[in-house]
Amino acid sequence: MSEFESGVGRVPDIMWLQKLIIERAIVRGNYTTAGGHKTDYYIDKFRLFSDPTVLRRIARMFAPSVAEVSPDLIAGTEIGGVILATAVSQMAGLPMIVVRKQPKVYGAFANEYVEGAFQEGQRVLLLEDIVTSARDLMTSKARLEEMGLEVEMRAMVNRGLAPVKALLQFTLPSGSPRTDN
Query: pLDDT by residue (tens digit) across 120-175?
Result: 999 999 999 999 888 889 999 999 999 999 999 999 999 877 789 999 988 776 65
* Residue 178 covered by a domain: no
* Residue 132 covered by a domain: yes
* Residue 180 covered by a domain: no
The better pLDDT of the pair 30, 8 is held by 30
For the chain, the three-class secondary structure string (H helix, E strand, C coil) is CCHHHHCCCHHHHHHHHHHHHHHHHEEEEEEECCCCCEEEEEECCHHHHCCHHHHHHHHHCCHHHHHHHCCCEEEEECCHHHHHHHHHHHHHCCCEEEECCCCCCCCCCCCCCEECCCCCCCEEEEEEEEECCCHHHHHHHHHHHHCCCEEEEEEEEECCCCCCCEEEECCCCCCCCCCCC
Query: pLDDT by residue (tens digit) across 78-134?
Result: 999 999 999 999 999 999 999 998 877 777 666 789 999 999 999 999 999 999 888
Q: CA 29 to CA 149: how far, in whole Å? A: 39
* Residue 130 covered by a domain: yes
Mean pLDDT of the chain: 87
DSSP letter assigned to residue 179: P
For residue 5, the tally of other CB atoms under 10 A from its CB is 13
For position 174, what pLDDT does the model report?
Answer: 61
pTM: 0.88
* Residue 177 covered by a domain: no
Cβ(153)–Cβ(141) below 8 Å: yes
pLDDT above 70: residue 178: no
pLDDT above 70: residue 26: yes
* Residue 147 covered by a domain: yes
Q: CA 17 to CA 14: how far, in whole Å? A: 5
CATH code at position 71:
3.40.50.2020
Cβ(101)–Cβ(129) below 8 Å: no
* Residue 116 covered by a domain: yes
Q: What single letter denotes the amino acid at residue 173?
A: P
Provide the domain count of the chain.
Answer: 1
* Residue 48 covered by a domain: yes
Domain that holds residue 98: 3-169
